[in-house]
Structure 1
């Protein structure tokens, strides 16, 4: 596995997937005896196993990277084995970027061929740019050309990633049409082109709440197979996801172990789900929903912040006072409207819930 330019001995705060899970990928590659598409590191079956977890014949445990319907993973992996690009669509916090990174790591062994979409993403980020010093000194040449991650993936038969595709201006988005339909990238300044070699494909992610920002043209959308990543179906599944991700992040930050905070994780998840769904878990009480998304990713952030508080200013055990401020910050995005929603939820639901008195007091303290 590559170190992607990190100095030897430098411990990355957030290693790339192919580095963080190198031992799992190596074990899967050794055990994988199924057919592999051209230039794939693993077979489609092994890629799906890497995403969803399992135990190999030699006893190696593959940890789940995505907790959700297996069919979604299978469709995503199969798409990458065809000539259609993959669009991962979902509300914020449904692990689109996480799944994209791990798919690229498992398929190509490199998740770093990435274009981060923003309102300011230029066409050069998808096509190519120029080393202007060489361009002025020598004129247009391949040596003066600076390839984009997409161009590099095409030339090497690897997987490129485009994050937040609908954040990119529409005219820049459409740069992908020729790449995805003709599998070629023209370089008119040189009278040349780059043709994609076998193994090339592209994964894009998009937030379905960004509709109306820079919607995909019908021509571009046809080039993608869209896979919708849903929110966790059950509270137990969401607690499992939050606990796993917080555990991974906590180990990197030397934070307390997650098992000691499972009760608070379940409370955070319960609060987020009830406010998100507009009804309590037992279906008996309707509640108002705040303006924010209250996604699984935000729950992970709240719990990680709480663990840091517990580690540095507490006894190392996650308690209601450690997560209360984080919950307030996640729920109250609109200071006027959301604060009313939160206060009503506290008084009507949390206050009356058996075993939640300490949680209620902690939340009231930071809300006042």
Structure 2
């Protein structure tokens, strides 16, 4: 809501003392303006349009009006250093398109999927390892399994196989962040069920949840991928992935 962006009130103090700086509860945007700090606005396109548009005066005039207060306290001016970094997922569904007026107040930078396979594997492995440690898992992810995971995500995301041929792509958001989530789920599953890192069977089980949460057709596409694309590939983990394809039957 707009209150969560600008400010709200401590109603106990508001009733006993009336509007004052003591009863005012600044929201992150107001705090960022008062302290001259960067404000990160996560998933801005998930906000209703009227809430998005409440940012217009903040970004243009760099001031918040607090009509309940009197005197100089009724206007909060942004200090040097204040700015807003907003994020949005362009592939996500059910979002509210930003108005043209709000778009003019931002500089846009599109972050594309990581083009280099080795870089993406290293990133997924590092982030998954950090998450696993926080979950009490001491076993590091298997590098070969991470390579299979990231390669699978890249192919299902782009609709292009390793040999350059076209294939079915999933409608689900097969992002690097989603790959990290699957790697974490694999590690937790493998560690707490068997006391070892996640393997290809865990990967198939976790991929089923990723593919099925948006569209039932994605589960069929994933099954075709495991049956047709993975079958002829070399490597122990690719063979194990193909051998575990039956785990999708219950999906």
Give me the TM-score of the superposition, normalised by structure 2: 0.90
Task: Give the secondary-structure state (helix, strand or coil) at the position aligned to 2:142.
Answer: helix
Segments of structure 2 that go 5 or more residues without pairing to the other structure are: none
Give 2:208's aligned residue: 328
The equivalent residue for 1:253 is: 135
Aligned residue runs from structure 1 range 275-286, under 5 A: 275-284=156-165, 286=166
2:22 maps to 143
TM-score by length of 1: 0.63
How many corresponding residue pairs? Answer: 245
Q: 1:172 aligns with which of 22, 28, 51?
A: 51
Q: What's 1:269 paired with? A: 150
RMSD (Å), alpha carbons: 1.8
2:166 pairs with 1:312: no
Question: Who is 1:364 aligned against?
Answer: 246
Map 1:1-368 to 2 at 5 A.
Answer: 122-191=1-70, 192-210=74-92, 213-258=95-140, 261-284=142-165, 286-334=166-214, 336-355=216-235, 356-367=238-249
State the distance in 1 between where 2:161 and 2:149 align: 13
Cα deviation, residue 231, structure 1: 0.9
Answer with 1 or 2: which has the greater Rg.
2
1:322-356 Cα deviation digits (max 9, x unpaired): 22200111122356312221221122101222232
Cα deviation, residue 155, structure 1: 0.8
Q: Deviations over 1:18-39 (max 9, x none)?
A: xxxxxxxxxxxxxxxxxxxxxx
- CA 1:339–1:318 in 2, change beyond 3 Å: closer, same or farther? closer
Aligned-partner SS, 2:190: helix
Which residue does 1:62 correspond to in 2? none
Q: 8 Å contact 1:291–1:333 — kept in the other structure? A: no
Residue pair 1:328, 1:367 contacting (<8 A) in 2 also: no
